Amino acid sequence: MNETQQVECVWVPGTSDRVRLRLANHVIECRLSLVAKVFGRQFVDDLYLRGRASCSSSKQQLAMFA
Protein backbone atom coordinates (compact mmCIF):
# COMPACT_ATOMS: atom_id res chain seq x y z
CA MET A 1 0.00 0.00 0.00
CA ASN A 2 1.28 3.44 -0.91
CA GLU A 3 0.87 5.77 2.08
CA THR A 4 0.35 9.46 1.40
CA GLN A 5 0.65 12.52 3.58
CA GLN A 6 -1.07 15.87 3.13
CA VAL A 7 1.34 18.72 2.35
CA GLU A 8 0.57 22.45 2.42
CA CYS A 9 2.94 24.93 0.83
CA VAL A 10 3.17 28.69 1.49
CA TRP A 11 5.68 31.40 0.60
CA VAL A 12 8.43 32.40 3.01
CA PRO A 13 7.64 36.09 3.66
CA GLY A 14 9.89 38.52 1.80
CA THR A 15 11.15 35.95 -0.71
CA SER A 16 10.26 34.97 -4.25
CA ASP A 17 12.12 31.67 -4.38
CA ARG A 18 11.65 30.05 -0.94
CA VAL A 19 8.64 28.18 0.39
CA ARG A 20 7.57 26.35 3.54
CA LEU A 21 6.10 22.88 3.34
CA ARG A 22 3.86 22.05 6.28
CA LEU A 23 3.57 18.37 7.04
CA ALA A 24 1.65 16.65 9.81
CA ASN A 25 4.53 16.78 12.27
CA HIS A 26 7.04 19.36 10.99
CA VAL A 27 7.83 22.24 8.62
CA ILE A 28 10.42 22.19 5.84
CA GLU A 29 11.81 25.34 4.21
CA CYS A 30 13.25 24.90 0.72
CA ARG A 31 13.71 26.43 -2.72
CA LEU A 32 10.77 26.73 -5.09
CA SER A 33 12.74 24.95 -7.82
CA LEU A 34 12.84 21.76 -5.72
CA VAL A 35 9.10 21.96 -5.04
CA ALA A 36 8.46 22.37 -8.77
CA LYS A 37 10.64 19.35 -9.54
CA VAL A 38 8.84 17.15 -7.00
CA PHE A 39 5.19 18.29 -7.31
CA GLY A 40 5.03 19.71 -10.82
CA ARG A 41 3.92 22.82 -12.63
CA GLN A 42 0.25 22.76 -11.59
CA PHE A 43 1.24 22.80 -7.92
CA VAL A 44 3.52 25.81 -8.51
CA ASP A 45 0.84 27.58 -10.57
CA ASP A 46 -1.59 27.17 -7.66
CA LEU A 47 1.04 28.58 -5.31
CA TYR A 48 1.53 31.68 -7.48
CA LEU A 49 -2.20 32.27 -7.99
CA ARG A 50 -3.45 31.60 -4.45
CA GLY A 51 -0.38 32.12 -2.29
CA ARG A 52 -0.65 28.54 -1.07
CA ALA A 53 -1.00 25.07 -2.52
CA SER A 54 -1.71 21.64 -1.08
CA CYS A 55 -1.66 18.04 -2.22
CA SER A 56 -1.19 14.49 -1.05
CA SER A 57 2.39 13.30 -1.38
CA SER A 58 4.05 9.92 -1.27
CA LYS A 59 6.95 8.92 0.93
CA GLN A 60 9.16 8.93 -2.16
CA GLN A 61 8.28 12.55 -2.90
CA LEU A 62 8.91 13.62 0.69
CA ALA A 63 12.25 11.80 0.71
CA MET A 64 13.52 14.29 -1.89
CA PHE A 65 13.36 17.02 0.77
CA ALA A 66 15.55 15.15 3.27
Q: What is this structure's pTM?
A: 0.87
**pLDDT tens digits, one per residue of 7-54:** 999 999 999 999 999 998 899 999 999 999 999 999 999 999 999 999
What is the reported pLDDT for 10? 98
pLDDT over 60 at 1, yes or no: no
* Closest residue by Cα to residue 27 from 44, 8, 42: 8
Is the confidence at residue 64, as pLDDT, over 60? yes
Phi/psi of residue 29, nearest 5 degrees: -110, 130
